[in-house]
């Protein structure tokens, strides 16, 4: 794949990290991240999908909860949340904001802290593309989600990743990239369909004039032009 000069310049010298190491490092300034296109639109998409569900009095699992950046909105909708993440540092930041939170460090992709059929709504934001093999994860999701449960997923759009887009963050003036795997939306829907889930809603956001200011702020207009009109993030609601 041939990159335009500015994109090549941005990639040169970036250190690639696995998910746990990346988020342990990013935790220090994650909540202070400014002008982050993905985090901004992830919140918009999640809010739109939450309007399609009723979390009142329900048990919610935030799979990959990070620092709990979405918890205020979820709690405002009366949900009762359990969180899990592979990053110890992220969970420690969450506990500062929510000292009584029920959170767990995720190991070996197993939700050992949850019994069968105990979750009404599973929310996973900006996580799925970090996972190489989805089926074992979805088997565990199926175990804990109730028969009439719902799943909300948001993430980097696979089209963006296929075109060379990367998940990066800035830490102490150094840019790091995080390992991603490409999972087409149809792949995700079909895999979860094996467990009785069906797609209810799909939201996709393209790189267009609306998002141009994010690139201008970071002096990345040429990157914007390269990926113009490509979808960069999606959100999906599934129910069974």
Query: Comparing C-alpha atoms, which of 79, 98, 92, 116 is closest to residue 23?
Result: 92
Select from 102, 88, 121 the least CA-distant residue to 19.
88
* Closest residue by Cα to residue 81 from 31, 240, 238, 73: 73
In a domain, 28, yes or no: yes
Please give the Cα distance from 58 to 42 (Å, whole number): 22
Q: Report the interhelical angle of 134-144 vs 185-193 (nearest 10°).
A: 40
At 236 the pLDDT is: 98
Instruction: Specify burial of residue 218 (Cβ count, 10 A radius: 0-12, 13-18, 19+).
Output: middle
Q: By C-alpha distance, which of 160, 164, 178 is closest to 64?
A: 178
pLDDT value, residue 50: 93
Structure confidence at residue 170 (pLDDT): 83
C-alpha distances in Å from residue 85, one per residue of 3, 64, 172: 34, 4, 23
In a domain, 220, yes or no: no
Contact 103, 82 (CB under 8 A): yes
Q: How far apart are CA 148 and CA 240, in angstroms?
A: 5
User: How many Cβ atoms are within 10 Å of 173's Cβ, its own excluded?
Assistant: 5
The domain total for the chain is 1
- The verdict on residue 105 lying in a domain is yes
Q: What is the pLDDT of residue 187?
A: 97
Mean pLDDT, 10 residues at a time, over the chain (240 residues)? 35 72 93 89 96 91 96 80 97 96 93 97 97 97 97 98 91 88 98 98 98 93 96 98
What's the pLDDT score for residue 3?
Answer: 32
- The pLDDT of residue 14 is 67
| DSSP E strands, the chain | 15-17, 59-63, 80-85, 102-105, 119-125, 145-156, 167-171, 174-178, 198-206, 231-239
Question: In which domain, by residue range, is 64 found?
Answer: 16-205+232-239
CA 46 to chain centre: 10
Say what the pLDDT of residue 1 is: 33
- Within-domain flag for 3: no
CATH of the domain at 155: 3.40.50.150
- Measured CA distances, 12 to 15, 34, 111, 161, 223 (Å): 9, 23, 38, 18, 14
In a domain, 210, yes or no: no
Any domain includes 224: no
């Amino acid at each position: 794949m041939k990159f335009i000069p500015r994109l090549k310049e941005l990639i040169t010298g970036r250190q690639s990290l696995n998910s746990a190491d990346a988020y342990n490092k990013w935790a220090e300034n994650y909540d202070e991240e400014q002008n982050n296109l993905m985090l901004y639109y992830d919140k918009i998409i999640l809010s739109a999908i939450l309007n399609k569900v009723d979390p009142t009095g329900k048990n919610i699992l935030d799979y990959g909860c990070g620092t709990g950046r979405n918890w205020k909105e979820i709690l405002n909708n009366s949900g009762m949340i359990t969180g899990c993440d592979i990053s110890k540092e992220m969970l420690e930041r969450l506990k500062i904001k929510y000292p009584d939170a029920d959170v767990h460090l995720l190991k070996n992709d197993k939700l050992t802290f949850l019994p069968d059929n105990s979750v009404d709504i599973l929310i996973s934001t900006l996580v799925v593309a970090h996972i190489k093999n989805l089926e074992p994860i979805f088997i565990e999701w199926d175990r804990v989600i109730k028969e009439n449960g719902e799943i909300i997923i948001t993430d980097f759009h696979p089209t963006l990743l296929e075109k060379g887009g990367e998940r990066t963050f800035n830490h102490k003036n150094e840019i790091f990239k995080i390992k991603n795997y490409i999972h087409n939306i149809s792949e995700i829907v079909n895999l979860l369909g094996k467990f009785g889930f069906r797609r209810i809603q799909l939201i996709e956001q393209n790189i267009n004039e609306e998002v141009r200011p994010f690139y201008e702020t970071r002096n990345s207009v040429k990157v914007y032009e390269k990926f113009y009109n490509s979808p960069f993030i999606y959100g999906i609601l599934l129910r069974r």
